[in-house]
Amino acid sequence: MLAELTANAVADALARRESAPFAVVEAAALARPAALDALEALRPAAHVKVIAEIKRSSPSRGSLATISDPAALARQYELGGASAISVLTEGRKFGGSLADLETVRAAVSLPVLRKDFIATPYQVLEARAAGADLVLLIVAALDDPTLRELHDLIVELGMTPLIETHSADELERAAALGARLIGVNARDLSTFELDRDLFGRLAPRFPDGAIRVAESAVLSAADVAHYRSSGADVVLVGEALVTGGDPIANLSAFLAV
């Protein structure tokens, strides 16, 4: 499934390239004001930090929420105390778009993450052109030379890579990049199975100084507490915030952990 999601995302980017050629998107990327400092925003603190996600649907959970006004939701996340906002830009299975990212960028002053299946430099340029400050790279979807190339391009453009892992081996590959911001996704993107304890098992293996992000499967404040006590500096929350009623109240409960 991960290979298919990635192949589709690359095909969709190739189609966009017909009307927005590489050089045009590159120029737009370079014309953007400097990216926000996400490492500063997500720096480990006495309290857990939250990356709040704008997510309409997913292949594993189906349709979650309509979200007709992503800017309004992003503003609520900001008011509720999120430290960064993740915007799913994958269209086929997650119902997102680069337009969502651009809208959210204009609505808040928090760092914004492009959450997608990135496998080409063009997609990284698109992210910056739309105003992204962070870009997700999924280790399981990329070979080492591609991972290195995309990581370095993200850094060169002044953005922060969030390197997603799902095993000790992938964590080592992330460490070898010199990654400063590393996530562990509780969900296996090939089988969609959840392992809520994976983060806790991998946390001791993070490289020194890296910010530790626990991704997925936070449904309650108790789940946040579980990740926090296993060593998470940051939790990335989607479903619970888009389906759980008042996002501001939910965020406050998560941040009170």
Ligand X SMILES: O=P(O)(O)OC[C@@H](O)[C@@H](O)c1c[nH]c2ccccc12
- Which residues are catalytically annotated? 53, 55, 115, 164, 185, 215-216
Q: Taking CB under 6 A as the rule, does residue 236 contact ligand X?
A: yes
Residue 139 touches ligand X, criterion: CB under 6 A:
no
Instruction: Report the nearest approach of ligand X to the CB of residue 165 (Å).
Output: 10
233 forms part of the interface with ligand X (CB under 6 A): no
User: Which of 108, 217, 234, 251 is close enough to bind ligand X by CB under 6 A?
Assistant: 217
Residue 212 φ/ψ region, left for φ over 0, alpha for ψ in the -120 to 50 degree band, beta for the rest? beta
Q: Does 250 bind ligand X (CB under 6 A)?
A: no
Amino acid residing at 118: I
Asked if 100 is part of the footprint of ligand X (rule: CB under 6 A), the reply reads no
**In whole angstroms, how far apart are CA 105 and each of 69, 155, 187, 192?**
13, 19, 27, 29
163/139 Cα distance (integer angstroms): 7
Q: Which of 56, 114, 115, 151 binds ligand X (CB under 6 A)?
A: 115
Shortest CB 223 distance to ligand X, Å: 9
What span, in angstroms and rounded, lies between the C-alpha atoms of 248 and 79?
7
Task: Name which position in 80, 111, 131, 238 contacts ligand X (CB under 6 A).
Answer: 238
Smaller CB distance to ligand X: residue 26 or 220? Answer: 220
Radius of gyration of the chain (CA): 17
Nearest to 107 by CA among 58, 67, 153: 67
Instruction: List the one residue from 13, 25, 49, 55 that touches ligand X (CB under 6 A).
Output: 55
Tokens of 221: 């404040």
52, 53, 73, 151: residue in contact with ligand X (rule CB under 6 A): 53
